[in-house]
Structure 1
């Protein structure tokens, strides 16, 4: 059964965060809150963990879209190809925030179980817990939404119930308070234009 960590979302306790980081470094899957729905993820650089995450989602590697959480904009530039200055200005205003920006992957992005991704989704959530995890880990966290099947509430919000439902499928669950039910807004920037491919919590028009 997973370990349950209670962490203050406004002022996360670094001692407890470091315990979660140990789980990530060992190739564990962790469920955590974000500024949108609860997510599940692993260390981007750990291939064994990536395989576990793909199994958890029930997907084939070539069907798994690769999105990960970075700490800030300086992190992003390590993993994507050149961002044009006008686009960079918009991203700088929008992040941290409830957006996933799809961009061309740089050569620094590891293979997703023998499948090299040409595009990646970048998240810098407006939430201290996942960002501090990334900072302490030293690597981005591959992230995917925690989604229930055949439920009236598609995205679970209660961390206690999340622990009951998923505690035997992951290695750690963070209770950071109740989650949101709205997904991030996905914006495709591959061709240089801001194309909204999923409207979620964020409104990119506010930053253009």
Structure 2
């Protein structure tokens, strides 16, 4: 299967409200349409995770962040441009997303991916994509395809073919919270 065919199939599943397993700029992820509350609920169920714990969303460009955050702070643009490793930003005033994806304080965790597969997937889907680590809550994240449990492989609607052969270390993203008042808090380095 070519990368293009893989992305096309994944997008078809996402548009129907399905859940996918896919490679990201960090670890393998469980993903769905970030605007579809039913799909987001499925991801929480698959991960056996409390829905009060927020999940990260991936987008293909810094400009797309504006669709999901009412007022993107100026420092966010700089962080996206200057980041040397995958960096997730927690931003206030989330909009146009599934309500069960927005944290109680109204914030959302967004990451602009530069990794070719996930970037193209987000671009072709034209929406934010949930990107939570491919594991049951509390278990280690799946760095590579080989690390994903059978339980997860069987729980999703589609498992992407791209990058399945990789066997190299991947780490979760850095997480930085940016408040409206300009306060910056590093949550995970």
Taking structure 1 as the reference length, what is the TM-score of the superposition?
A: 0.77
Find the partner of 1:72 among 56, 61, 64: 61
Cα gap change, 1:150 to 1:137, in 2 (>3 Å): closer
Find the partner of 1:192 among 179, 182, 187: 182
Could you tell me which residue of structure 2 aligns to residue 170 of structure 1?
156
Distance 1:172 1:57 in 2: 16
Distance 2:102 2:178 in 1: 25
The answer on whether the counterparts of 2:28 and 2:134 sit within 8 Å (CA) in structure 1 is: yes
Find the partner of 2:121 among 133, 144, 162: 133
Alignment of 1:48-59 (within 5 A): 48-59=38-49
Cα gap change, 1:15 to 1:194, in 2 (>3 Å): same
The answer on whether the counterparts of 1:37 and 1:183 sit within 8 Å (CA) in structure 2 is: yes
Q: Deviations over 1:162-202 (max 9, x none)?
A: 27442211111124142644110110112423321111xxx
Find the partner of 1:88 among 77, 100, 113: 77
Q: CA deviation at 1:16?
A: 2.4
Cα gap change, 1:23 to 1:192, in 2 (>3 Å): same
Could you tell me which residue of structure 2 aligns to residue 159 of structure 1?
145
In the alignment, structure 2 segments of 5+ residues that lack a partner are: none
> SS state of the match for residue 49, structure 1?
helix
The answer on whether the counterparts of 1:50 and 1:112 sit within 8 Å (CA) in structure 2 is: yes
Q: CA deviation at 1:139?
A: 0.9
The answer on whether the counterparts of 2:44 and 2:50 sit within 8 Å (CA) in structure 1 is: yes
The answer on whether the counterparts of 2:89 and 2:178 sit within 8 Å (CA) in structure 1 is: yes
Find the partner of 2:134 among 140, 146, 165: 146
In the alignment, structure 1 segments of 5+ residues that lack a partner are: 1-5, 8-12, 200-208
Q: CA deviation at 1:18?
A: 0.6
Could you tell me which residue of structure 1 aligns to residue 92 of structure 2?
104
Could you tell me which residue of structure 2 aligns to residue 31 of structure 1?
21
Larger radius of gyration: 1
Q: CA deviation at 1:72?
A: 0.2
Alignment of 1:37-52 (within 5 A): 37-52=27-42
Taking structure 2 as the reference length, what is the TM-score of the superposition?
A: 0.84
CA RMSD of aligned residues (A): 2.6
Could you tell me which residue of structure 1 aligns to residue 108 of structure 2?
120
